[in-house]
Structure 1
Amino acid sequence: MPERSYNPSPRMTGILDAAVRVTAAGGLRALTHRAVDREAGLPEGSTSSYLRTRMALLVALSEHVADQLHAQVRALMEPLASEDGVDEEQLTAGIVGLFVEWLDHPEVSLVRAELSLEAVRVPAINKAFSPWHDDLIAAATPIAARTGHPQPLRLATATVAAFEGILLSALGQPEDRRENYLREMVGLLVQSLIR
């Protein structure tokens, strides 16, 4: 996975972390400059001095969430990129561990879901948000290729879409069943990817 050049200032990071919390709690409808100022403990008008419009706020939030997802996925995938074969148990455990972490701290996953829907309608959000998804497919493609699949890119694309569906459906599971649900569903999907 390629490095990303996203590098916000500490002040901007604080604003965008507050925007994540606001959006996770109330959805994109709750995301306003004033709500972010309140959540960040900043004087009114602080967020709008950095991000003048709602669209600027949404795009910056998309880049912020995409960068967090990219870093976490990269940490999972990099060790697998150098392997000659794919260890099914290692891959399953890594993905389950990442998904459990996301579900234990669901703010970014909830915001990701909100932004994914908005990105369908708003090209600027799609442009800011989709690179992490493309990077994930790019990371999964060599794994699919090592299985001898005739169309590894298509297999990786389908598998990533299925992983996203599993994560979203896990958010709706009772908390005490989420990890077992993830382990079973991810295990089935990893088997389909590497066999």
Structure 2
Amino acid sequence: MSARRRVARKRSHQTPEGTAARQELLLRSAIAVVGRSGMRGLTHRAVDREAGMPEGTCSVYYRTRLALLTALSGFVAAALHADVRSLGASLPSPTGDDGIDLAIDATIQMLMRWSESPDLIVTMSELSLEAGRTPSLSEPIVAWRTNLTDIVENIVCRTEKSAARLRAEAIVASLDGVVLNGLLATSAAERPAYLRSMVTLVLRAIGDADLEDYGLSH
């Protein structure tokens, strides 16, 4: 199941039964709030309204703003992490250009799925910035980014280039900008072609770069 389907908002006139179901609806609703209003708009009351729940429900499960942000960080990271694991499982075993091309295609498809959930991407971006100010929020975000970097490093290793980890870290940082800019600067119709060209360029350029030209150690 893709990240988009896991976090897609499901409005209902009935309050879900069970703690886990209610918490999931609240966190989905929090993503919608952040996607629309930014982190400043994320309040317990706004989440309750978005979820169609009685006022005060969110504060019952997440008593403080920090508790809500902590739960939201884990929820968003878990949704994206599942896609990263799926990408890793789909990587072809052969080395050479054919294997690399298939890996690039798999990465593009993953990022295209993410771009179909703009609220999710905006929320992760906002949480990443917030984690810089609140270190306790960083653990799930760092974990999923590390896993993504591991996957990209595996792709880079297929090129038999040096400093695969350094290249992977540069690629992940670049792809952050590509995904976010794709949401801001392109229409939904233009986005697939944009992502395909940008992801291919980033992966190939960084993967093929001669690090000695930049004074970077191997």
Normalization by structure 2: what TM-score? 0.79
Shift of residue 194 of structure 1? 5.1
Contact 1:145 1:152 (C-alpha < 8 Å) held by counterparts: yes
Q: Where does residue 190 of structure 1 map in the other structure? A: 203
The question of 1:30 aligning with 2:30 is answered no
The question of 1:83 aligning with 2:96 is answered no
What is the root-mean-square deviation in Å for CA atoms of aligned residues?
1.8
User: Residues 56-85 of structure 1, C-alpha deviation per residue, up to 9 Å, x if partnerless?
Assistant: 1011111110001101121122121x6131
Q: Where does residue 172 of structure 1 map in the other structure? A: 184
Q: Where does residue 30 of structure 2 map in the other structure? A: 19
Shift of residue 193 of structure 1? 5.4
Which protein is bigger by CA-based radius of gyration? 2
Number of aligned residue pairs: 187
Task: Give the secondary-structure state (helix, strand or coil) at the position aligned to 2:185.
Answer: coil
Within 1, Cα distance between the matches of 2:160 and 2:193? 30
Which one scores higher on RCO, CA 8 angstroms, separation ≥ 6? 1
Q: Where does residue 108 of structure 1 map in the other structure? A: 120
Shift of residue 173 of structure 1? 1.6
Percent identical across equivalent pairs? Answer: 37
Within 2, Cα distance between the matches of 1:112 and 1:89? 28
Moved more, 169-178 or 20-29: 169-178
Structure 2 runs not aligned, ≥5 long: 1-18, 209-218
CA 1:95–1:178 in 2, change beyond 3 Å: closer, same or farther? same
Q: Where does residue 155 of structure 1 map in the other structure? A: 167
Q: Where does residue 52 of structure 2 map in the other structure? A: 41
User: Residues 74-126 of structure 1, C-alpha deviation per residue, up to 9 Å, x if partnerless?
Assistant: 1122121x613162332232222222222222110111111111111110111
